[in-house]
């Protein structure tokens, strides 16, 4: 290769500028929607993981004559360890949520995207229309859902840790005022948790912007697919890649800085 | 079983940890009458706080009973006057027991006003206008009328604790529980909080106070409980406890703190 990067090659990209512009919009929309879906999913998952659903304990309390042994030993004292104790504490909802989170966190995004696109959406036929004239709906939607399901698992852990980081005394104060469990969560714990986890959510958003580049493999026309289009048509690689680098940087850097600023402003009144 | 002037009856209350190896409460029986100012003293680790926190079930006792207005709140249900079995709603009873914590536990993301109006509005569904009037009157009583829109972080420790006290008072509790309310305060701020508590006592509020302030116990309390190792070792009037202590543990304790 004579000249690694040539200024004249950048001129060859100009006809494809529209492609990059559309790719930029697709990447932004894809990431925004994915994080929104992810956040909603994460709320559900975190609720499940922190739920108080103990069917075996319920059995023990509702039919103490038959299932009382789950809660009490033969001597009449409360169980605090052992198999029956653990069975009593078994929470199927939390188990399902934890299983989902661990599977998603332990597999590559590209595998998940392929499973959603080639697997799930080969069974569900999507209309092959376009949004705004350039977003291929039947490729875009599986991409959004796959990324959303992926970030849901990560955001679930972020939300859970945020909730657990709120001081126990806050819950105690709210409960002692007569608020029930869900009011305590809604008015006291969750607003404080949200403030704690805002930077982590922003990081997740930035991570999703970057990870969304993988969706070009299922034909989503994002920034990365514009690079590929130029490469195929004009036989240059480094120049379009540099343009993509610039675009991704312009997205991620201000996003992370912006939320850091927001976080600083919300710090007001943050201590007990 | 429950007479009208007995607000809370505690019977053989036990709280064990680790399958009974640690006995935080080892069979406490005591009656709290309306208008009592009961001060609980004792060395640290004696179970005073656990006892207080059991009264509104922030700690779930291992065994025993707590009757509040004649209803055992440690059970999941009770039989009402019509002879029907009703599920016990613990939130309903917690509303009637105000609690003040050592570390204040104000809600940091809310203003003083919001801290105080949250429970009356969401639990009691009081109209906003009426409750804000009441809150401002309460704030004025503790000298914090100009702090209504401040955030907790902008207040001193003594101010925070006074807000915490009036926050609990907003729910019109029948009894106030104080869990070492001055232990986390700088010495010069202890007085302002104790003054508010003294005034409450003068007005006839039923109070249970866990504290290390022996001066307060002697001056304001009408009954003193001495606890050690999860047991109630001695109970009596301030003069009996402080002038004529009987139990050797109490004598030993007083010789160290007085």
Q: DSSP assignment of B64-131, as one string? A: EEEEETTEETTSSEEE-TTS-EEE--HHHHHHTEEEE-TT----TTS-HHHHHHHHHHHTS---HHHH
Output the pLDDT for position B4.
58
Least confident window among A75-79, A243-247, B21-25, B49-53 = A75-79
Give the chain B residue whose CA is nearest to the CA of A186. B122
Q: Which residue has the higher pLDDT, A37 or A270?
A: A37
pLDDT < 50: residue spans in chain B: 1-3
Flag whether pLDDT at A2 surpasses 60.
no
Q: What is the CATH class of A7-52+92-270?
A: mainly alpha
Q: Which helix (H) or strand (E) holds B157?
A: helix B157-169
Q: Touching check for B176 and chain A: CB below 8 Å? A: no
Q: Mean pLDDT across chain A, nearest whole number?
A: 86
Flag whether pLDDT at A139 surpasses 60.
yes
% residues pLDDT > 90 (chain A): 42
Q: Do residues B179 and B52 make contact, with C-beta atoms less than 8 angstroms apart?
A: yes
Nearest CA distance, B109 vs chain A (angstrom):
6
Residue showing tokens 């914090």: B144
Nearest CB to B171: which of A77, A177, A187?
Answer: A177
pTM here?
0.80
Q: Which helix (H) or strand (E) holds A221?
A: none
- Sorted by where each begins, the domain ranges of chain A are 7-52+92-270, 54-90
Residues in chain A with CB shorter than 8 Å from the CB of B107 are: 170, 173-174, 188, 192
Model confidence over A141-158: pLDDT tens digits? 999 999 999 999 999 999
% residues pLDDT > 70 (chain A): 96
Output the pLDDT for position A269.
46
Q: Do residues B123 and B183 make contact, with C-beta atoms less than 8 angstroms apart?
A: no
Residue A78, number of CB atoms within 10 A of its CB: 14
Least confident window among A41-45, A86-90, A264-268 = A264-268
Q: Which residue has the higher pLDDT, A67 or B174?
A: B174
Tell how many helices (H) and how many strands (E) occur in chain A. Answer: 14, 2
């Amino acid at each position: 290769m004579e000249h690694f990067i040539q200024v004249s090659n950048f001129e060859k990209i100009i006809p494809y500028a529209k492609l990059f512009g559309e790719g930029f919009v697709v990447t932004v929309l894809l990431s925004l929607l994915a994080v929104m879906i992810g956040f909603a999913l994460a709320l559900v998952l975190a609720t499940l993981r922190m739920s108080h659903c103990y069917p075996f304990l319920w059995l023990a309390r509702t039919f103490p004559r038959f299932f009382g042994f789950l809660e009490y030993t033969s001597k009449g004292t409360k169980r605090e360890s052992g198999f029956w104790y653990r069975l009593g504490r078994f929470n199927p909802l939390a188990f399902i949520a934890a299983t989902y989170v661990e599977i998603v966190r332990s597999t590559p995004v590209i595998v998940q995207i392929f499973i959603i696109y080639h697997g799930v959406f080969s069974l569900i036929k999507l209309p092959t229309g376009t949004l705004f004239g350039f977003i291929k709906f039947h490729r875009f939607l599986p991409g959004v859902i796959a990324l959303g399901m992926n970030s849901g698992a990560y955001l679930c852990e972020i939300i859970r840790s945020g909730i657990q980081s709120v001081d126990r005394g806050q819950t105690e104060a709210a409960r002692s005022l007569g608020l029930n469990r869900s009011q305590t969560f809604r008015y006291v714990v969750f607003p404080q948790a949200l403030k704690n986890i805002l930077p982590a959510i922003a990081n997740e958003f930035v991570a999703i912007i970057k990870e969304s580049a993988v969706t070009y493999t299922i034909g989503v026309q994002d920034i990365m697919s514009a690079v590929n289009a130029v490469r195929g048509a004009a036989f240059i690689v480094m120049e379009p890649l540099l343009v993509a680098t610039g675009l991704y940087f312009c997205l991620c850097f201000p996003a992370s800085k912006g939320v850091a600023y927001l976080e600083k402003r919300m710090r007001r009144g943050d201590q007990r | 079983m429950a007479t009208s002037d007995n607000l809370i009856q505690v019977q053989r209350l036990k709280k064990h940890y680790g399958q009974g190896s640690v006995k935080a409460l080892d069979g406490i029986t005591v009656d709290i009458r309306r208008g009592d100012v009961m001060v609980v003293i004792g060395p640290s680790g004696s179970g005073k706080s656990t006892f207080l926190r059991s009264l509104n079930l922030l700690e779930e006792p291992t065994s025993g009973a707590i009757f509040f207005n004649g209803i055992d709140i440690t059970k999941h249900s009770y039989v009402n006057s019509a002879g029907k079995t009703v599920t016990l709603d613990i939130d309903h009873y917690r509303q009637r027991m105000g609690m003040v914590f050592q570390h204040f536990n104000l809600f940091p993301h809310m203003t003083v006003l919001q801290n105080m109006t949250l429970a009356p509005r969401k639990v009691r569904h009081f109209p906003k206008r009426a409750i804000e009037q009441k809150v401002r009157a309460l704030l004025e009583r503790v000298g914090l009328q100009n702090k209504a829109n401040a955030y907790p972080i902008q207040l001193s420790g003594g101010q925070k604790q006074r807000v915490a006290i009036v926050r609990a008072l907003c729910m019109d509790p029948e009894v106030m529980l104080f869990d070492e309310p001055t232990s986390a305060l700088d010495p010069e701020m202890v007085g302002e909080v104790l003054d508010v508590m003294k005034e409450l006592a003068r007005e006839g509020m039923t109070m249970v106070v866990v504290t290390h302030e022996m001066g307060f116990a002697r001056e304001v309390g009408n009954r003193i409980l001495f606890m050690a190792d999860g047991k109630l070792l001695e109970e009596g009037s301030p003069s009996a406890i402080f002038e004529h202590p009987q139990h050797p543990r109490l004598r030993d304790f007083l010789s160290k703190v007085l």
